[in-house]
Structure 1
Amino acid sequence: MKKLIYLLFLLPLALQAQDGGENTVITNKKNEFRVDVLAALVYTKASFSYERFFGKDFSTGFNVNFSNSGKLNDDFDNGYRNNVPKFEFNPYLRYALSKSKSRYYFAEVFGSYNGGDYKEIVRIDGMAMPDYYTTKKSKYTDFGLGGSLGYKMYFKDSFALEFIVGFGSNLTNRDKSPDVISRVGLNLGYRF
């Protein structure tokens, strides 16, 4: 009976020590680089992220996207949409919602500096001729804010798999830029 009681007291300590060792290995690695596989396959967009870990639960980083999707460009040229995003720079701050460092949920706030092409129909005063309408193309840039939720897991203390979903709104140039900005991704990464 005494052995069983000792075992019940020592088992949580042993599990905590084992988990602490795993967390220590990951915690000692402060940098992470990720590539968004979902963006590359579905949206034909190159998306790269860098993250730096601070303290226990906080991290900060940035995400860079470049897009030149044939489908979006065709929709833009054929008049099905009036803007097409070309680039994004998203700095973010994250907070881990779970205790484990090898598998955890997180919340994030992010900013977005984004830009692309914009198209509108304008009326031209013909002076000597009748007025007419034409399509005018221009560039746009905007800044937005948003929030995200995600889940991250590590394999072999270095390889990361991350799923993230977030939305925000552009703030300064809403007549030309998209109203809603999104951060949806399935990222593969390496922590070092």
Structure 2
Amino acid sequence: MKKLFSLLLLLSLASQAQENTVLANKKNEFRVDVLSAIVYTKASLSYERFFGKDWSTGFNVNFSNSTKLNDDFDNGYRNNVPKFEFNPYLRYALSKSKSRYYFAEVFGSYNGGDYKEIVRITDMALPDYYTTKKSKYTDFGLGGSLGYKMYFHNSIALEFIVGFGKNLIDRNKSPDVISRVGLNLGYRF
């Protein structure tokens, strides 16, 4: 019985080591955020490059043209609507397994969209009046995220990520808080 148990333990360790070696040889990964596409009607694509034992870097690109957000913006329920984001990031794996692990990341966010404000128009010939003025905004923010990633068949990735940050430059027009929340499906090669 001890021999059988030892053999099963050795086989499971060998298969996990082989799985980690196969994943370690694959250095690139592309992902699509399924949650953002369904909930926010936002296209979100990511690329990640793995280097070293626990480190990786990459970027995420988002484009949004949500009817709900645009309607809220046009009807005055919100004063800004994000249209695009470019998020470079650096990640560190918190777990030792390469096939299932927790990670922490720091990210930057170059983002932009539409901004609307009510302005007072002063004209000498007419009485003062108020009107709505639309403009564009761009900003840069910093933030952090935590997530969990798992692999199936040594290539298919499933990732859950939650993170928040703050815009730093044009805080009068841009959103105060930037978020990175997603459920990503990807392929590692």
Same fold (TM > 0.5):
yes
Matched, 1:180 2:177: yes
Q: How far did residue 108 of structure 1 move?
A: 0.6
Matched residue, 1:57: 54
Amino acid at match of 1:16: L
Supply the AA of the counterpart residue of 1:107.
A
Q: Secondary structure at the match of 2:184?
A: strand
Structure 1 residue 39 corresponds to structure 2 residue 39? no
- Taking the TM superposition and a 5 Å limit, the aligned residue runs for 1:1-192 are 4=2, 13-192=10-189
Q: How many residue pairs end up in the alignment?
A: 189
Alpha-carbon separation, structure 1, partners of 2:158 and 2:183: 7
Runs of 4+ aligned residues of structure 1 deviating over 6 Å after TM superposition are 6-11
**C-alpha separation in 1, matches of 2:17 and 2:52:** 15
Two-structure CA RMSD over aligned residues (Å): 1.4
- The unaligned stretches of length 5 or more in structure 2 are none
Q: What is the DSSP-based 3-state SS (H/G/I as helix, E as strand, rest coil) of the residue aligned with 1:136? A: strand
Where does structure 1 lack aligned partners over 5 or more consecutive residues?
none
SS, match of residue 126 in structure 2 = coil
- Secondary structure of the corresponding residue to residue 134 of structure 1: strand
Supply the AA of the counterpart residue of 1:118. Answer: Y
Which string of whole-angstrom CA distances, capped at 9 and with x for unpartnered residues, describes residues 114-154 of structure 1? 00000000000021111110000000000000000000010
**1:74 Cα shift?**
0.4
TM-score for the superposition, normalised by structure 1:
0.94
Deviation at 1:12, TM superposition (A): 5.3
Distance of 2:185 and 2:141 partners within structure 1: 25
